[in-house]
Amino acid sequence: MEEVCDCLPNIVDVSDLRPWGYETYLANSDYANLARGLYWGIGPRLRSFDFSDQCASNGGDWYCASIQHYNQDVEFRFGVPVTEQTYTDPHGVKRRV
């Protein structure tokens, strides 16, 4: 039988996505509440494995984040809509988000 390897965390990091125009934001409290089961429905399953169903903001172990392929700060602060946002990829090519 092939040995199971938990190697994804070793090769992929959220910061690896930033050069490709992705931004990470903490999710609002409605989406971060895993215990309720309203959005994700995984609270009971986490508890069944003796994991916390609470996000760090509520004293738990999880950080609930949203990964977006645009910069919402640029949109909200400077009025640049998603359709006009660009980024320069790691190869120096300017691309739209």
Give the count of domains, the chain.
2
Condensed to tens digits (0 to 9), the pLDDT of residues 12-47 reads 577 788 888 888 888 777 777 776 656 667 888 888
pLDDT at 40: 66
Please state the rounded mean pLDDT for residues 65-84: 83
Same structural domain for residues 77 and 97? yes
Same structural domain for residues 32 and 55? yes
Please state the rounded mean pLDDT for residues 67-72: 84
Same structural domain for residues 37 and 55? yes
Q: What's the rounded Cα separation, in Å, for the pair 88 and 95?
A: 6
Range(s) of the domain holding residue 12: 1-21+72-97
pLDDT at 8: 46
Please state the rounded mean pLDDT for residues 68-92: 85
Same structural domain for residues 12 and 38? no
Q: pLDDT exceeding 70 applies to what percent of the chain?
A: 80
3-22 per-residue burial string, b: 16 or more CB within 10 A, e: under 16? eeeeeeeeeeeeeeeeeebb
Amino acid in position 45: R
